[in-house]
C-alpha cells in the first residue's frame, strides 16, 4: 500500500473505503506489547489521515483476537503497574475512540483484558461462535486500564459491568450478545466476511452523518436527557445546513 509502511506486529490494508487492522503476534495470542503500541498508534493515524477510509475493521490473526498485555513484558519491568504505564505513554485507545471512521471489532477465540477492551472501544463488535471474553485484571491486583471500566457499563449496564470487572468471570459469544457487548454472532468461518460486509455498508454512508450519529449516541451516556436531546437537535440542524 502506498504511503503506509510495513508493521512488525500487525497488518494494515485497505479494501476500498475500509481499512483492516489485524493484530499479528499469533505465537503469543496477539498479546499487546510496546512494539504493538507503537505500530497501532501509527496504523490508526494512517487510517485517520486517509480521506478515503470511512470504516475500519479490527481483527486478530491466529487462534485468538487478543489476550491483552504481554505478561513477558510485565516480567521485564519493576512491576506490572510500571509496564502498563509505559504502554500508556501513547494514547492509542484515545486515538481509536476518536477515529473519524466507524469501527468494527471482529473477535474470535480469546478476547481477554485489553483484548476485550479493544473490542469495547469499537462502535460495533461481531463475534465468532468460539469467542470468549473476560476482564481478569482485578484478580491480578489491578483494574482494567484500556477503558473497560467506562465502556463496559455503557454497553452492558453498571450492575453487569461490576460483576464482570470484580469477578473476572468468562462470557462466551452468546452470553456477550445477550449482555449487549456483541452486535452479532456468526460461525468462525464467516467472521471476516460478515465484518467486512458490515464495514462496507457503513462506508457507503455520508461520513458526516456517521460522525454526528456516533457523537449523539455516545452523548446519551454522559448528558442529562434534555442536554442530550439538545445535542441531537444541534447535530441534526448542522447536517441539514450543509451546502
Q: Which of 73, 137, 192, 232 is catalytic?
A: 137
- Rounded to 10 degrees, the C-alpha dihedral 30/136/148/33 comes to -30
Q: Which of 117, 192, 209, 232 is catalytic?
A: 117
* Residue 117 annotated in active site: yes
Tell me, rounded to whole angstroms, the distance of Cα 131 from its chain centroid.
15
Contact 232, 216 (CB under 8 A): yes
Cα–Cα distance for residue pair 241/212, rounded to 1 Å: 13
What are the E-state strand segments in the chain? 10-15, 18-23, 55-60, 102-107, 110-112, 124-128, 132-134, 171-172, 184-186
Crossing angle of helices 158-167/148-156, nearest 10°? Answer: 130
Longest dimension (CA), the chain: 57
* Residue 98 annotated in active site: no
- Note every long-range contact of 206-211, with CB atoms under 8 Å and residues 24 or more positions apart, other chains counting: 207/54, 207/100, 207/101, 208/239, 208/242, 209/239, 210/54, 210/102, 211/100
Q: What amino acid positions are annotated as catalytic residues?
A: 117, 137
Amino acid at each position: 500500500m502506498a504511503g503506509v509502511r510495513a508493521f512488525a506486529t500487525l497488518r494494515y490494508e485497505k479494501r476500498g473505503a475500509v481499512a483492516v487492522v489485524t493484530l499479528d503476534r499469533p505465537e503469543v495470542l496477539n498479546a499487546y506489547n510496546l512494539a504493538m503500541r507503537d505500530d497501532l498508534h501509527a496504523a490508526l493515524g494512517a487510517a485517520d489521515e486517509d480521506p478515503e477510509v470511512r470504516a475500519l475493521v479490527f481483527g486478530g490473526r491466529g487462534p485468538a483476537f487478543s489476550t491483552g498485555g504481554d505478561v513477558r513484558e510485565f516480567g521485564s519491568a519493576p512491576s506490572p503497574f510500571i509496564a502498563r504505564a509505559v504502554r500508556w505513554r501513547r494514547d492509542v485507545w484515545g486515538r481509536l475512540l476518536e477515529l473519524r471512521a466507524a469501527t468494527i471489532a471482529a473477535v474470535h477465540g480469546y478476547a481477554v483484558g485489553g483484548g476485550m477492551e479493544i473490542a469495547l472501544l469499537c462502535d460495533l463488535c461481531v463475534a465468532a461462535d468460539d469467542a470468549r471474553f473476560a476482564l481478569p485484571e482485578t484478580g491480578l491486583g489491578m483494574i482494567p486500564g484500556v477503558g473497560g471500566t467506562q465502556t463496559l457499563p455503557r454497553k452492558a449496564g453498571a450492575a453487569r459491568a461490576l460483576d464482570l470487572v470484580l469477578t473476572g468471570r468468562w462470557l462466551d459469544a452468546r452470553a456477550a450478545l445477550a449482555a449487549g457487548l456483541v452486535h452479532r454472532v456468526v460461525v468462525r468461518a464467516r467472521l471476516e466476511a460478515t465484518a467486512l460486509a458490515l464495514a462496507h455498508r457503513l462506508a457507503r454512508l455520508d461520513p458526516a452523518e456517521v460522525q454526528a450519529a456516533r457523537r449523539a449516541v455516545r452523548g446519551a451516556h454522559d448528558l442529562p436527557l434534555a442536554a442530550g436531546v439538545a445535542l441531537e437537535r444541534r447535530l441534526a440542524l448542522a447536517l441539514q445546513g450543509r451546502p
